[in-house]
């Protein structure tokens, strides 16, 4: 099982000794120098896994508050998998970053405003049928409740897997079990022993468990100990 945090929550050298996976967050906010990513890969031990979030230009519209951390001029029209040059170029950036990290998983996190309209679904179908995948596994985390009961079929159609916070969403469809834990009711939440028991009932040896709350480092350590 892969247990870790969304982003390095402590010095990399120490993190590498404690965990076997990290979900790189910087790649979502803005392009990261390839030299930096290659250095992280070289620093990591054999068997350590990097996953990464796809660049926000693919998924998030320009008015999203996440662009406050975007380095460079804010794109005038991007996000929502629109079939435009900016979006496809953003994927090429993410693809190069994945190769630099020797990653096999890319996560597409969608804003709550991305609901299952016909236009949005058509854009997704066009995007995922056009891009070069290079055998990467691609996960989709939706946050608009309108996707409930629909996301499983869409993932199967597009060759994706459903990324979920199991305390908020029911996982639909097969493929990789990839859980992103944001905290029950908010990021300041500390997971309990009861929570860990529920989580344990869902995971298997091939699952990914990524903590993304304020207490991610502490909770990831505690969950590792809980499984022993």
> What digits encode the pLDDT tens for the residues 115-168?
999 999 999 999 999 999 999 999 999 999 999 999 999 999 999 999 999 999
Q: Mind listing the pLDDT tens digit for each residue in 162-212?
A: 999 999 999 997 799 999 999 998 999 999 999 999 999 999 999 999 999
Class of domain 2-227: alpha beta
CB distance 58 to 87 below 8 Å: yes
Reply yes or no on whether the pLDDT at 66 is more than 90.
yes
pLDDT in the model for residue 136: 98
pTM (2 d.p.): 0.96
Distance CA 176, CA 38 (A): 25
Q: Mind listing the pLDDT tens digit for each residue in 6-40?
A: 999 999 999 999 999 999 999 999 999 999 999 99
Nearest of 185, 191, 197 to residue 211 by alpha carbon: 191
Reply yes or no on whether the pLDDT at 60 is more than 90.
yes
Residues 6+ apart with CB under 8 A from 41: 50, 100, 101, 102
Q: What is the rounded end-to-end Cα distance, in angstroms, of the chain?
A: 12
pLDDT in the model for residue 75: 82
């Amino acid at each position: 099982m892969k247990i870790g945090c969304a982003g390095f929550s402590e010095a990399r050298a120490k993190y590498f000794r404690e965990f076997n996976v990290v979900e790189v967050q910087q790649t979502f906010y803005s392009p990261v120098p390839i030299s930096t990513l290659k250095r992280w890969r070289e620093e990591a031990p054999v068997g350590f896994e990097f996953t990464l979030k796809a660049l926000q230009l693919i998924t998030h519209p320009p008015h999203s508050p996440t662009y406050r951390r975007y380095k460079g001029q804010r794109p005038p029209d991007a996000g929502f998998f629109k079939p435009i040059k900016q979006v496809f170029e953003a994927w090429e950036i993410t693809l190069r970053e994945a190769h630099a990290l020797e990653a096999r998983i890319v996560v597409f996190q969608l804003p709550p405003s991305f609901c299952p309209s016909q236009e949005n679904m058509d854009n997704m179908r066009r995007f995922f049928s056009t891009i070069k995948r290079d055998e990467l596994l691609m996960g989709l985390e939706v946050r608009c409740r309108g996707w409930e009961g629909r996301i499983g079929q869409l993932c199967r159609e597009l060759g994706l897997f459903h990324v979920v916070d199991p305390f908020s969403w029911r996982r639909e469809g097969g493929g990789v079990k990839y859980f992103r834990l944001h905290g029950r009711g908010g990021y300041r939440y500390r997971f309990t022993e009861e929570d860990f028991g529920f989580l344990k009932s869902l995971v298997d040896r091939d699952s990914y468990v990524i903590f993304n709350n304020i207490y991610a480092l502490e909770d990831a350590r505690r969950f590792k100990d809980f499984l022993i």
